[in-house]
Structures are given as structure tokens and as C-alpha cells.
Amino acid sequence: METHEIRRRFLDHFERAGHQVVPSASLVSEDPTVLFTIAGMAPMKPFFLGQATPPSQRVTSVQKCVRTLDIDNVGVTTRHNTFFQMAGNFSFGDYFKEGAIRHAWELVTSNRDEGGYGFDPDRIWVTVFESDDEAARLWEEVAGLPPERIQRRDADDNYWSMGVPGPSGPCSEIYYDRGPEYGREGGPVADEDRYLEIWNLVFMQDIRGESAGSGKSDFPVVGSLPRKNIDTGMGVERVALLLQGVDNVYETDLLRPIIATAERLSGRTYGAPGGHADDVRFRVVADHIRSGTLLVADGVTPGNEGRGYVLRRLLRRTVRAMHLLGVERPVLAELTAVVRDLMSPSYPEVATDYPRIERVAVTEEAAFLRTISSGSRLFDVAAAEARSAGSTAISGSTAFQLHDTQGFPLDLTLEMAAEAGLTVDVEGFSRLMQEQKDRARADSKARKGHLTDMTEYRRLLAQGPTEFTGYQELETEGTVRGLLRDGVRLPRVGSGETVDLVLDRTPLYAEAGGQEADAGLITGRRASAEVLDVQKVDRKLWVHKIRVLDGELSEGDAVVASVDPEWRLGARQAHSGTHVVHAALRQVLGPDALQAGSYNKPGYLRLDFSWSQGLSAETRNEIEEVSNLAIRRDLPVRVLYGTKAEADALGAIALFGETYDETVRIVEIGGPWSVELCGGTHVEHSSQIGPIALLGESSIGSGVRRLEAAVGIDAFRSLAAERALLHQIAGSLKARPTDLPARIDAMAERLRAAEKELERYRAQQAAASVAALADGATQVGGVSLVAAALPDGSAGGDVRTLATDIRGRLAGRPAVVALFAATDGAVSFAVAVSPEAVSAGVRAGDLVKAFAPEIGGRGGGRPELAQGGGTDPAGVERAVQALRSALSATSAR
């Protein structure tokens, strides 16, 4: 049975059982404490916590998930995947244990002709929490399982919580016996390779407290949930493994074709005798390229932190694994195309957005191939330093630096070290990696522990959502529903206090969709307050952060909430301007230039978009002109409401990672010219935007560019400031503005000519210095020595070149040249040794070690040439003496 069919049967089964099918949420998590959606229940978390109302009491989904905590185990074992699909059914206060067990048993064991999976009931085992007699009884009554195939386990295995105080409960896991060839008898408690877990049913009935210790289950149960819930998760890939009769998930229908492509590209065979190392690499390729492709499809772009860093690591580990398989040419375009074909039947966005996905992957691959080149140079320096220091190992800190700053995989460092006859301090590297992970975990834990208590906000939301009137008016009468500070309800607040205010109705726009919150005032009969910020809770409750200016505000007060009209005008201009620039961008560059984020506030807009190269001045000018022509045409701006399907039919553009309600708001500018899903405030006609002036364009990550622009009166001010600057420069150069380009070109040409003349003079000076220094060589132990501190500027910034030139003048005899140049409180030096001196036992690196401490420095290199620097120019004379002493001692030997 194909994986897509397994997925379809799951959703069909639960839809027939009265569940509402909800689509998979994005892999980009809305939870600020995690980077990705890591479990099937993660999108349901607000419903379990009471922060939001579920669309139905019964819900089912197949959720895309990514976990990278065990990324280093991917491929090494056949169990670990970074991307997986978790099928789940959820009950919010509806059915409980009996219903969950019945639904699962029917799907797992029903005949395939009836829509089930057709597993042999006699090979099913289950586990329950050690004290959950009810679940054990229900498995006997509902499923007819004999007691000997119902095993009890402790809280570490069969009790679930979110890891923080809140909902929790016992769970029951379903296992399938794969047969004696996979391990020993005795059920899941004896062998979880033979008895493979496929489904976990969580019976959410308790409220857990704070952890009492460091153990996973070391916390008290402090109460019972008022409404019992069900949360289940079935591993789609594990079910596919069993139903397709293969040994591991990498041999299922959605991964094995990727391995086959890697086999074709590399000429090597998966599963070949003695090929365990290659098998690991094939599995890494299959896992990582699938995960990376799906992350890009959900709007993630490679970067140096957060989600972008994880994606970058996945793509680069793919390239590295292919490199170890003997493929050094670019391969990601071919591999992502295979993923597109495999995954698009369930996730069609992978196919529709493939041109952008391919571009991001190919750009990152090219960048990594350049990184391998630059990282190799850094490795060469580190290897030279290790040898000059008499070490045979690359330090753990160097390996970690290559990994952390250059994206250099440890296995690449190990391979290059072995080729250079060196080892790597893997233990030191691992220690630094662990410290980095510990810091990340501590940061995550701190973020989890400092969330504001949402209890009171949920109680306010239970009274009904805030009515937003800001699309129709700038002033609204409302009632104070709640006043809160740090989640604590207050009956009243006075002058000077800053608190959260919740109204039943408000015209003030809450920050969303890249648009800043409105500024405004709250006025009552006895008080007034300024609005500092407006945010949403669960997208339905408007929370105003206010500072009371005078008087006293109390719950239940009648107030008037008003928007600053100038602020709103500027916000509308900027948000509509963002849509106009986006449409202009796509008109100039093509439909692949999709928005990847935005921010706008009065007078300013910022638009991030998917593109792999910088824009020329001509292209920027064209985008700016197309935008302003659209404004001059006075295009109508129309707001429509409809379903997501209707919006898609209109060609409306949705922002990656955004969550939309069942009814969406569609903003058209000029009919089909610009159609986007948007909840922001907008002008009625494009001419009301005013001028748009592009301020700049830059890269913010691999495959993502950023445009910034001034809008309306701020655009005029920006252009006026540029005009003033232009006239100032023209005045200084005593030229008309139109003559400035020619005048500046002429000045630049004269400057280049002067620099060439100066360089020629320096070359002459350096040549004279070479001759003079060579002629001044002294004999130290049978070796001609030139050791000198160069006057400031005479080295032309290159002591190494001068040292090798002088050595050339001393050709045919044992010679050592050591030059020192002091600049800005630092010293640079180079030591060049002739072949004859090297044959006599003189090594440049040994001489550096002898004198470098005198100038507070270090250096290294080859026996015939070494260089470095120091921090104490006053020690140069002592360094020369130390060099002479070391040379004398070497010659004496």
C-alpha cells in the first residue's frame, strides 16, 4: 500500500466517524518556543490549552513534522528521520478512551476492501500506563486482545505531557509484531525492534505541576481536566514500512526512489556488501533532501540562525554526503525534482512552487561549494599552525570554528586532516558542540518559563471576540472588558500606569501581516490614555497596551477608542504601497519573485522576496517607475471576502507561513494586477499612496533579497534630501548638477593615475630597499642573515614579498631573511629561508617560535617561509636578538 494511500485512508476513516478534516499546518511553528512543528498535536495545542476554540469537537489531520535534535543519528540508524508525517485524531471534550481505542482498532485491523489497513489482529500488542486499569479493560472488551498482549509500563514510557505545567495524561501505544527474524519474543517491553510502535493514544485527563527534579516524569499531578480530551499520533512512515514489507523507512516508496537517484549519480550501490558507510550516506541524502525541500516549500530560506540555519545544515549535509559518494558536481536540482514528484500528490504546493524551491536549493549548493573552497584555505592555515607548534592534531576549537562559522562538517575536517597526516581533537569538538546545544536548550527553557499566564485572556475571550471596526471608522464607543498587568486582572488603574486593556469593540488595528499597530487614544468620562501597542490573542481578542495619562480607568467603563488619523493615513499608504511594489517586482522580474515577508509603518515599507541575485540599478529604477506609474493611474482598490478556494481561483497571493481563517480577506489593486490575501488597512485608490522612493536593496540570506522604500510625504522628504545633497556636492565641486557625473569621473581618473604613480614610487623604493638590505647581510654561524625593522610605509604592506625578493638576491648560499613592519600598534613579520639553509637544518617555523614571544605574537608556515604578527612593536629589537641566538644555536648543531 503506497504511503499516499495510507494517508488518505486515515483521513477518510475519521471523516466517516464524524471528524472534521483539517489540512496540515506549516512546518514553521507558530509556537515561539520551537522552530518547527515537531508533533501532530502541535497545531492543536491552543485548543487543548483553552487559548482557542477548535473548529469541531472532533478533528483529524495528517501533519507534516520536522525534528532535528537527533540529526547526527540520521542514516546511522534506520529509525531516525528529520521529516515525518503524523496522522492524528483529536477529541475536545467529546469521546474519550473507549472511542479512541475503538476508532484505532477498526482502522488498523479492518479489511483493506473496507478501507482499513488489514493488519493481523493476532500480531497486535499494546502498552498502557501501569495504573490505567480502565484502558487495559477496554482493550480486552473493545478489541478482544488477550491480557498477555496488554503490557503495563511506567510514566517514562506511557505518560504524556507537554514538558511544562498543563494538560497531561496516560497513554496507550499500539505495536505490531514483525516476527522472530527481527528480535526476541516477549512483547514491546522485551524488544522494540521486533515489536514496532505505530500509534500512540494519549488520554488527556490530568493537570501536571512543576517538575520536582530532572527526570522526564518527575512532576506531580495537581488536578483533573474539567473536559477530557483525546490526542493520538500514528506514524505514517512506520505503517508504510509494515504494509510495504520492507525492513526500514528508507526502503519505503517515498524515500527509496531518492536513494535510487543518488545511486545513479554516484555509480555506487545501496546495500552492497561491506558498504555500511555508503549506506549511511545514501540515507542521509534521502532524508535531508526531502526535509529541506519541504521546508523551502513552507517558506524557510537558508541562513545562519534559527530555522534558516537548520535548513542550511540539511542541504549542506546532503551535498557533503554526495561528495563522500564520489559526486563533486552540483546535484540538488536533480534530487529536489525527485522529491517534488514523490511528495506533490499529498502536498501539491511542492510542485506549484518548485521553480522557487529549486532556485533556493541550487543557490545554497553553489554557496556551500564556495564555502568548501574557502574553508579548505582556513584548514590549511590551521594545519600549518599545528605543524609549526609541533602538534599532530587539529584542535577541537578549530574544528568547531570551521563547523560553526563556515558550515564545515566534522567528517570533512576529519577527512582533510587524515590526508594531511593529522588527527582532530574530536572530544574537544564534541564538548563545544554540547555546550552550544546546552545553551540553546537553556534559552528554549527560559522562553517557555517566562510566558505570560494566559488564563485571564482566555476568560475574556470566552465572553466573545473583540469586534474590530477599524475598516469602517476611526472612532468607536466601547466598554472596558478587562485591565491586566502581567496576566493578572486589575479592577482599576490610575495615572501613569501601563497596562493591557481589552475592549469589546475597537477601531485600532492590531499588529499583523507586517503592518504596525495603530497609534491612538482611549478616553472615558474620568480618564484618558495613550495607546502604545495593539496585539491579538488567538487572532480574535484585541489587547491594547496603554499608558494612563490622567484620571482612573475601571472595568466596565464606557470609553471612546480613537485612531490617530495621521498615523492611519500613513499606515494605509505604506501597506497599499507594499502591495504595489510587490506587483511591480513581479511584473519586472517575473512570477517567481514572491514575497517572503514584509513590514510597513507610516512613511516606510520593507519587502523581502525570493531572489538569488542582487538587482542592478536599472532594474531598481524600473521597479520604482512601474510602482509610481500604477499610483499615477489611480487604480481602484477593492476588498473582497471569500473562501480560500475562491481566493486561489482569483490568483490571490498568500504569504508563506501565514494562517488564514475559513473566510479570507482579498485586496485587489487594479483588478488582477495585484491580488493578495491581506487583513491590513488600505487606501481606496492607488493615487492616495503618494510617491514611492526606493531607499535600497540588499541580501538578507541565501536566496532572499530586501527592498526598502519611503512612501507618501516621507518619499518626498527623502527625494528632497537627496536633491539638497546633490546641490551641496555640486557647489563644492563648482559644477552644475547635470555635469557632476563627468566631473566625478574625471576626478576618479586623476586619483587612479596618482595611485599608480605612488605605487610605482613605492616599487622603486622597495627595490632599493631590497638591494640595500641584501648588501647588508651579516654572517651568523655560516648563514647570511638579514634581520631588519622596516620604516613605516616602506614595506608597501607586504613584508612577505620583500623577504622573498631579498632571499632571491642571496641565492646559492645559506641565507635567512627576517623582516618586521610596525603599523598602528601591531607588528607583521615574515621569515624566508633559502633551500641551502633548509638543507643545513634551519626551519622558518622554528625561528618564529624563538622570537615571536618578544613581540607578543605567533605565526607559522612552511620550512622555507613563515609569517605572522604580534602586538608589541617595542619588542622588535629583542626579537631580532632572539632570532640571532636561535640561528647561532641551530648552526652550531
> CA 493 to CA 322: how far, in whole Å?
64
Angle between helices 740-775 and 799-809 (to 10 degrees): 40
- Strands (E) in 417-571, as ranges, are 423-424, 467-468, 475-485, 488-490, 492-494, 498-503, 505-506, 520-524, 527-537, 541-554, 558-563
Nearest to 679 by CA among 660, 652, 656, 651: 660
Residues 6+ apart with CB under 8 A from 323: 412
Q: How do 124-129 and 150-153 pair as beta strands? A: parallel
* DSSP track, 658-688: ----SEEEEEEETGGGEEEE--S---SBGGG
Radius of gyration of the chain measured on its C-alpha atoms = 35
**Residue 579 is assigned to a ligand binding site:** yes
**Residues forming beta bridges with residue 208, ordered by sequence position:** 166, 221
**Residue 403 is assigned to a ligand binding site:** no
500: cell is 493591557
Backbone φ and ψ for 166, nearest 5 degrees, come out as 150, -160
Angle (CA) 385-397-431 rounded to 5° is 150
Nearest to 634 by CA among 582, 670, 603, 604: 670
**Residue 727 is assigned to a ligand binding site:** no
Residues 6+ apart with CB under 8 A from 673: 583, 630, 635
**Burial class of residue 558 in the structure, from the number of CB atoms within 10 Å of its CB (0-12 exposed, 13-18 middle, 19+ buried):** exposed
Backbone φ and ψ for 417, nearest 5 degrees, come out as -65, -45
825: cell is 600598534
Hunting for cell 654572517 — which residue is that? 779
Q: What is the DSSP letter of 77?
A: B
> CA 464 to CA 47: how far, in whole Å?
16
Q: What is the DSSP letter of 346?
A: T
* DSSP track, 168-182: EEEEEEEEEE--GGG
> CA 403 to CA 571: how far, in whole Å?
44
Annotated binding site for Zn(2+): 575, 579, 678, 682
Residue ranges for the known binding site are: 575, 579, 678, 682
